[in-house]
Amino acid sequence: MGKLEGKVAFITGAARGQGRSHAVRLAQEGADIIAVDLCSQIDTVPYPMATAEDLQQTVKEVEALDRRIVASEADVRSLPALQQAVRDGVAQLGRLDIVLANAGIAPMGAEEDPSVSWQDVIDVNLTGVWNTVRATETVLVEQGQGGAIVLTSSTAGLKGIGGDSGGGQGYTAAKHGVVGLMRSFANTLAPHRIRVNTIHPTGVNTPMVVNEFMQTWLAEDPTIAGAMTNLLPVEMIEAVDISNAIVFLVSDDGRYVTGVTLPVDAGFTAK
């Protein structure tokens, strides 16, 4: 018997990486999934973003677990697109219990115009998270049975890492901003028994960091690479480690946990 039988989870950025892992782990615990992803490129992002085939792969893996999934292409920068995806998903799956604001980009390093990189990362990583909660909170409130929201921040949401590019500074600012959103939503949604927490991963083995561009960027600037080492002797952690923390937070195991910044970072922020 899974920890999330009968629940429905809405996940952004679900085509690959951590988002796909969350969809699969939550489905293993019995949840049905509403999945969205942009499935196309943003110009300032120096590594390939997810594709429509990636999102199809997530669908396959969730269905292989005998869970239902409603997947669509939607941009977290568009509130109406998210609202539409949530409406369709809830219409088909019957309810909503869990929200994971996971979609994100990392446009660090080489950039033509720092202002554009800054704006893109703020739009996706901060405004996109705000939109994700706004598109779902009324559904949770009207349903009247509580709920759990997890916002994916980063160690860069707790520390001043990310380098000195516009995209890097925007990333750090957006991820810190996500903590502010979490704390205010935790307050406003608590009367409805809706819990809101953030997770703060250190480097995770996903295409966001395991790509040619990012590895070159890290290799070229030893100060950044040096600042990126973990306290535990592990170089990178796996997407499932973030998913496991999320399972704790959104299940009854974490039924009274709200307003918490939870690092899953091999001690990165405790150094």
Partner 1 sequence: MGMLEGKVAFVTGAARGQGRSHAIRLAQEGADIIAVDLCSQIGTVPYPMATPEDLQQTVKEVEALDRRIVATQADVRDTAALTAAVDEGVAQLGRLDVVAANAGIASYAAIEDISDEMWDDMIATNLSGVFKTVRAAVPHLKANDGGGSIVLTSSTAGIMGMAHLSHYVAAKHGVVGLMKVFAIELAPHMIRVNSVHPTTVNTDMVQNQGTYDLFRPDLAPGTATRDDAGDAFLTLNLLPIKWVEPVDISNAVVFLASDMARYVTGVQLPVDAGSVVK
Residues of the shown chain interacting with partner 1 in the complex, contacts defined by CB under 8 A: 183, 186-187, 190-191, 193, 195, 202, 230-234, 237, 241, 244-245, 247-248, 252-260, 262-267, 269-271
d(CA 202, CA 170): 17
Which of the following is catalytic: 10, 47, 118, 171?
171
- The token pair that represents 43 in the structure block: 């110009």
d(CA 196, CA 211): 32
By CB under 6 A, residue 154 contacts ligand NAD: yes
d(CA 191, CA 232): 38
Question: 171 catalytic, yes or no?
Answer: yes
By CB under 6 A, residue 77 contacts ligand NAD: yes
SS3 call for 135: helix
How far does CA 266 lie from the centroid of its chain?
18
By CB under 6 A, residue 89 contacts ligand NAD: no
Nearest approach in angstroms of CB 204 to partner 1 is: 10
By CB under 6 A, residue 165 contacts ligand NAD: no
Nearest approach in angstroms of CB 254 to partner 1 is: 7
- The token pair that represents 29 in the structure block: 């615990």
Nearest approach in angstroms of CB 264 to ligand NAD is: 9
Q: Using alpha carbons, list the distances in angstroms from residue 194 to 83, 254, 263.
A: 19, 12, 21
Residue with tokens 């996971």: 102
Q: Using alpha carbons, list the distances in angstroms from residue 62 to 23, 80, 151.
A: 7, 26, 22
Choosing among partner 1, ligand NAD, none, which partner's interface includes residue 126 (Cβ < 5 to 8 Å by kind)? Answer: none
Choosing among partner 1, ligand NAD, none, which partner's interface includes residue 186 (Cβ < 5 to 8 Å by kind)? Answer: partner 1
By CB under 6 A, residue 59 contacts ligand NAD: no
Choosing among ligand NAD, partner 1, none, which partner's interface includes residue 100 (Cβ < 5 to 8 Å by kind)? Answer: none
By CB under 6 A, residue 108 contacts ligand NAD: no
Of 221-250, which residues contact ligand NAD (CB under 6 A)?
none
User: How many C-beta atoms lie closer than 10 Å to residue 145's C-beta?
Assistant: 11
By CB under 6 A, residue 44 contacts ligand NAD: no
Nearest approach in angstroms of CB 238 to ligand NAD is: 10
Asked if 240 and 203 touch (Cβ cutoff 8 Å), the reply is no
DSSP per-residue letters across 230-248: -SSS-S-B-HHHHHHHHHH
- CB-wise, 213 or 248, nearer to ligand NAD? 213
Nearest approach in angstroms of CB 201 to partner 1 is: 9
The residue ranges of DSSP E strands in the chain, in sequence order, are: 8-12, 32-37, 69-73, 98-101, 147-152, 194-201, 261-264
Residue with tokens 């080492």: 229
Nearest approach in angstroms of CB 129 to ligand NAD is: 8
Catalytic residues: 171
Residues interacting with ligand NAD, by CB under 6 A? 12-13, 15-19, 37-38, 49-50, 75-77, 102-106, 124, 128, 152, 154, 201, 203-204, 206-209
